[in-house]
Chains A and B, each alone.
Chain A
């Protein structure tokens, strides 16, 4: 029974990784990578590595997407300010 869960999760992780790469918009990618982190945590858990699963759960599913979102917010703030500066000084 456990083997089927493990095989299914391995397949899902492979598909999830593909999904993260194929998502081109960084904003959507942050959400997809969060789901991928959750899948990885489940995979580690079924392979009897609860310590690693906990790390993957918090870092992969929460902190990493958050950092991506914060970085995107900052990059956009930069772009808006720069555009405005260029408009002011033609």
Chain B
């Protein structure tokens, strides 16, 4: 299609979109005017029914817990997909690495960056666990806390390099953590069935509102999701890093050969 014709098609489409969009905007409720019933109902019933102080946690892990299991397995399958795509291909091993040192030179991390990252490791991991553990009390939970835990592991890599990361978190560890976390959610759901209640129904005592041991199974689910998310991100990270490292190792081996 020629450029003027394409422009014409675009202008017609843009005009149509603008008209519909403005029409839709005109029909929106005014800013801050909430009309849906569910938010108000949940705000009223969630604390007495589920003994949570973060209503979002009760919605995610209880009222619509089965949806969240689906979401969790979206992440699980995505991680499996990335790991499958990043499998070492035969060609990558057979081809000799380039001599061009500049292209694959090991990026030296400056001491300032390493020291800064080292100082952040412990606070980040503590914050991650804190957000996982208090998901039913304050904003946060397994997904957010798990991602923060994964960031803490990235900091370990930035401060100490790949070998340190491997020493702290062995490769099988990440796989197992991801699987246990994903399965744990389902097991907690099945426990409800075994106890003669519905799937994912709270079967343990709810405890007093506002304390760490409250809200029944919600903190347990948060813990399981946190482990799964942290493990999942770690699996992806180590797949990427291992590949980058293979190219480097081949280059180093070649350099040693030439020197010998």
Interface residues of A in 17-70 (CB under 8 A from B): 50-51, 53-55, 58-59, 62-63, 66-67, 70
- B151 near A62 with CB under 8 A, answer yes
Residues of B within 8 A of A63 (CB): 147, 150-151, 233
B250 to chain A, nearest CB (A): 9
B236: CB under 8 A from chain A?
yes
B67: CB under 8 A from chain A?
no
If A73-B240, A84-B96 touch, does A66 touch B154 (CB 8 Å cutoff)? Answer: yes
Instruction: For chain B, give the interface size range.
Output: 20 to 34
B225: CB under 8 A from chain A?
no
- B240 near A71 with CB under 8 A, answer yes
Residues of A within 8 A of B144 (CB): 51, 54-55, 58
Query: B103's closest neighbor in chain A, by CB?
Result: A80
A90: CB under 8 A from chain B?
no
Question: Number of A residues whose C-beta is below 8 Å from B?
Answer: 25
Q: How far is the CA of A59 from the CA of B143 in the complex (A)?
A: 10
Residues of A within 8 A of B92 (CB): 78, 81
Residues of A within 8 A of B (CB): 50-51, 53-55, 58-59, 62-63, 66-67, 70-71, 73-74, 76-78, 80-85, 88
Residues of B within 8 A of A (CB): 54, 56-57, 86, 92, 95-100, 103-104, 131, 139-141, 143-144, 147-148, 150-151, 154, 233, 236-237, 240-241, 243-244, 247
Since A51-B57, A66-B237, A81-B98 are in contact, a sample of 8 more A-B pairs with Cβ atoms closer than 8 Å, ordered by chain A residue number, is A50-B139, A51-B144, A58-B151, A63-B233, A66-B154, A71-B240, A77-B244, A84-B100
